[in-house]
Structure 1
Amino acid sequence: MEKTTVSNEAQKVALPAFLKKRLLAFRTGEGAEQSFLIKDPQNDEVHTLEPWQFFLLEVLPGCDNMPKLKGVFEDRFGHGISDEEIQKFFTLIADKSLFGISALTNPILAEFQKKRKAEGQGRIKPDPKVKAAATEEKSSEPLAPGVQDVIGLDTTIKQAGWKLFNPKGFIKLLSPVIKPFRYLMYLVPFLLIAALFLLGRYYSLMEADITLLLSDVSIIEHAIFSMVTVNLSVTFLIMFVAHSFRASIHGLGIVFYLGFFPRFCPFIGNLDQLSRRERMWLHAAPLLYRLGLFSTAILVWFNTREMGGTLAPFALVVAVASALSFLITINPLVKSSGYHLVATILNEPQLRKKAYAALINKLKGNTYQEANSRLLAAYALASTVFMIVLFGLVLLLLGKFLKIHFGGAGVMITFFVAAIFAYRMIVSFDRINKSYDRAAQFKRWRDRTLVSKESEESEAEVVEKKSSYLQRAILVILVGCLFFPYSYEPGGSFVMLPSQKQEITSDLSGIVDWVKYDGGEELKKGDAISALWQGDFTSKIKVYEALLLEQQAVIDELKSRPRKEDVLLAESALATEKTRTQFSYSKLARLEKLYKKGTVSFEELDAARREYRIDRAQVDERKADLEVTKLGATSDQIAAAEAKLQGYEEEKAYYTEKVKLSTFYMPFDGRLASMHLSQKVGSYLATGEPFAVAENTSKVLAQIEVPEADIRYIKEGAVVRVRPTSYHSQDFVGKVLSIDTNVTEERLGRVIKVVTILDNNDQRLKTGMTGYAKIESETLPVWEVLSMAIVRFIEVEVWSWLP
């Protein structure tokens, strides 16, 4: 170690804890040329230290014995160091009078000082008073911004939890592999832009997938998944970053935030030697990692969604978990990465403490607090309100989950958790208030404005009496309020439904031929809306109309028989046949004589005989025709013709009905709810497929989901006040129309659906609107309303436990 001067290129670093507080530390050079400078402004001296010497001073606060110090040194530089070398270095520092008074609290340096004293070289006597003063000095000094109040980094914070194991060897082994991945942070902005683009363009698709994935996932399951994925990976990332900055990894554990919410946490030491830039990266890296994880998960989900499998759903859930984690941790109102990053940038380790002091100063109207800043007070107020709202939201979700799974016991557990949080908050504010009073009292003493003991006691007595009276008055008022009458109105969320609703369909399939209305119009019952192509049916109807005319003519002709003309025609035909028979008989007689003489052949004689027999048969047939003609058409013939006519009529009616069925008519007075119907012209409509939806919304129904426990207070005809989300400042009044006879199991509990009817002549209420409804019920005292859940739990759950 030698004296030198500080160049302009030297970078200021954190001073090792056991050196004098007035000294300044600088780092200069790179790689093998790197060295450290210790400057004493009081004596205008600068001392040069090698990197291994500066490292020994940095890690001394975390080492309480020599083997541990030597082990840390070997882990850092890859080779050991002897006791003589360490003692020689400590002697060099002591001779230059660089050790501060706090060095005596370290066991190694205390032993070193004892040896120097025995040798007559000691300069500082390590008596108990000096040790106590050194300890108080060390504990009273705030840690560096980015380390102060950080769980796992600030050793003064006592947080409930467990230390699992020390992954130091694992971190050291993988650091060379992980280190090149740090350059991926430059891709985060591009990945984030791509992810936000996909989020904006496919938001509805992503929302549907998220709803489907998380519909059956409780807040407990989501918290566990987030813990073992995002939180665990972020924890290891912090340890890798800290190790790269020469910090010591002491372990990995689980701590409970807010007293019950488990999260993984790294335990890291030797942080005093970190520069401000390194502390900023220690808190910025987790934020960048969460952004990168969110962006990568969105891209994986989008590119693997169509492939099926579990990768896309897993990536989407990781994206949701990392996004929620980023939004919470980036918020400077929460003591997380965002807050500590801001504190490091502002170089203010006690940002929140000063902010609360400023807030209390504003509330009390004092003027003794230096941190009397409106900005700090606003920050403290916003931080408090945010934490209360955040815990209220978590408590609400936890209460719903516990109520579903444990009923009344879950409600009691939720109240117990809320009581613990309220107690912790009261204790915290009381501690802050006492700290503020001590600071204000010190400020008054310093400014010689401390009042006399007598006046202070009298003032305290007056304040105590006033406070006692005020507390009693408030207690009496609160007790009296419990007996005030309260109009209890059970209710629940609702969904708006039309009083009449029907899908317009057809029993036929075909091509949409024409559409008269596009949708949204008010129509009367029976108005034609559209029709399918009817070409085949209309042609069939025309064919059967012609057949009907033909068959009717046949029937008329049958009914007009016998006619005189037909009888004369039949008699003429008979006379003709008789004449032909006479000629054939004469011919036969001539041929028989000629045959006997041998003039003609037997074939000619046989042909004449056949002709004669045929003519006689024709005569008999004509006689029968004459008789039939004289009788006219029979009743059977007329009945057969009329039956055929009726068949044609039925066929025509069948195709006429087809034409009617292929036309869509308005089923009642109302409105066409479907839109853009004209675009369906030319499209194919299958049998039973809805063409449009008709609604009657002159009156609407509100279907209210009332919790099962409140159904005893609901009566038919009770007045209902409905407040839709769209008209949040206006109530719509109706009456209970019906109460469902069944209990419905919903995700958030068991409900009974109650239906009320509302007038909607102005058509402001739309189908599907949601909101909250209150139903008029009994008037009960306030105490009974507040104790309903507890009484119900005792009378049902506790009663079930009794023998």
Structure 2
Amino acid sequence: MTQAYKLIYKKKAELNTRKGEIIFLTSVRDASRYSLTPDQYALAKLFDGRRTKTEVLELYRKKYGIELTEENLQEFLDNLEDSGLLERSASILPGSDNVVENLTWARGDTAESSEAEVDSDPEESMESYPPETEDEMIMRKGRRRKRVSTAPNRVTKAGKAGSYTKDVKLLVSIPIGWLMPLARLLTLPIHGRISVVLFFAAAIGALFGLWNDRFDVVRDLKLLMEPLIIAQTLLISMFSVNLAGQLARAGAAYFYSKKVPKFGIALAFNVLPRFYVSLAEHAGLLSLDQRRGIILSALYANVIVFSIASFMWFITKNDGTFLPLLMIGIAILSVVRLVLALNPLSKRGGYYLLSAKLGVPLLRERALFALMGKTLATKPGEKTISPWALRLYGVLVIAWLLGVTALITVVLGGWLEANWGGLGVLIFIGLASATLYAPLKQARLARSKIGKGKRGSDDLRKQQKPTTWTTRAVRLVLLVGLILIGMLPYTYEPGGELVLLPLADSRADVRAQIEAPIEEILVTEGQAVKKGELLARLSDDEEQRNIATVEATIKKLQAELAKAEAGPTKEEIASAKQRVETARVNYQFAKQSAERYAVLSEKGTVSRQEYENSQSKADNSRELVTQASTDLDLLMSWTRPEDIDAIKASIAREEAQLDYYRQRLGYSELRSPIDGVIASGSILTAAGNYLERGDLFAIVADNQHLLGEIKVPQADIGEVRIGAPVRIKFWSFPDREFKGVVQSIAPTADKSDYGKIVRVRTEVENPDGLLKANLTGQAKIVGQEKPVVLVFSRMLVRFIQVELWSWLP
């Protein structure tokens, strides 16, 4: 028999709020009030006791342009029927046991329920979608509960009665369509058993790999402790993990409802900007199991991010870049977020799953009420647990909150106070106030445990149309296009950070080679000079004097050599004989005189002094005879070859000394050793200053061809070849590309902050003279051409060929 339904209610009231119109219907069964949105009420009115569900679906689609599934419609009807707002006008068909929160309960039977305080942690809605069937919307961020009158004959008043949904305000709305492929990837574990198996296999493989490379993990963790690095890593990791969690929620919501959620940036704790997915419009489209699936998808996302980040760390750990540190930071943060999310004491995924498992909504609120000796009202059919269990859970929750508060106060507050003093304390108080503002305001407004209606589905996405042959053709063309693109040749260009070296290869020092004062300076700083150009003169007085002395000595020795080689003449022989004869005559006379003075001295006729003088003259005369005889003998015996050789050696020695002094004379002129410019600030002396040997006078920099050093990761050094072209961009000139050529590759690898690197030197062209020593930039070394797919999968291939190979026993 065909089943039909009819909407029934005792009284209807309308309330306009900032979020739109809300319609309140009073149940004829127990006078309880229920809130509906205009779209929900329009759908409910179509059930007039004669139309079937199929007819209503068709009419709703034609009238409002909205398509609903039979499953969603049946859940909506079950909710209306359980609320006493619907009756069956034909045979009764079995309904669903799950109650969807399209309507929310507002009985207010007891004082406890009317005064119930509702927790509203701003962080919760950023993480998961609440699973409870009862008061499901209460668990969302920013929900406000306002007191509602339960008297059947009173109309609710604005500001005092009625409830509305205040969804988290998006500061910036971002189109999510282009991110949906990534969102679907993050929701793979909820698609089936095979996906779950792959999910756990990837996580276990990541853990095994990290344990296998634990020493490298420890190395990178030590590098992460640098303040600047950990700040950068933490910031990027927080946004990455947050984005993944929100995309997972969006992907799961779309998977279950075929409706794309709103996505954007909102404030967490009224301070921190975060990505946020609004699921307020999905409440009426999701069953209890589907809402649990959304919660699990956010938890799964943390594990997926951990697996992907670990995998990326494996293939980049030796790249010598910041990327492996970032990946290990993201992996660690995702694990921390997962542990915190599974904590049942914090109102996050673990708490909601526990609440759903126990079948007890508002578990934390009930536990806190139990500690105060009160009981929160329970809807008929809801499960209850022991008051002692509630009290124990409440104590654990309070201990957890106090512990977290104390930890944040001690760590963050202590750090701010230690580094910023009183200003740090004010900053901490401001942050704490901004964080607690929203919860305190909600606690002041919350008074009773009432339900809230969900937004209607006025913008429900229509059911997806069947795939046509045109769609298949487009997909095939795209697939073929991707394959062709993957086969295109692509030049792989390894590279790294480049520094222009201030070394001798790209500059030359002009230093004093002699000790002398500066006599004249002929250049200025920044002046362009050519190789060999005179830069300055030093005083050369000492060198000129030494040169003159040595030249005179050489002339004398040369004359002696010529004389020795020519031999004596007759005149020289006669003169020598005459000198001998004269010496002998003088000696005889002196000898006789000395003998006479000796006799007279004995007689006392002459003094002793006169006697001694005569003896001295006689001795000298005898020596002159000997010398003259020797000279005559030498002259008569001719000059020996040994004597001639000795004279020649003396001449050679003096000539070498002359060359040395002339070289020193050349050193008095300071000339440029290369083409370049006088480096700014390098002329360290002035005219008249005395330079010691080795003192620096100026620096000439080759500004046409500079030497650069590229830090190439060891994983890419196999692609580098000497003579390969280099493309360079400097931070100082981002709009211009400079050229270079690889000159040399270091024979060993060096350690860097991000792993092993190999230093590659390149000659950098600088025709305009713009580049300066010590400038930094990025360089790409032109490598070999390979297919696109091989170039962009190098890390993966290397990971398989090296890392996985090392795991094999």
- Class of the TM-score when normalised by the shorter of the 2 chains: 0.3 to 0.5
The answer to which structure, 1 or 2, has the higher relative contact order (CA under 8 A, 6+ apart) is 2
Q: Which structure has greater helix proportion?
A: 1
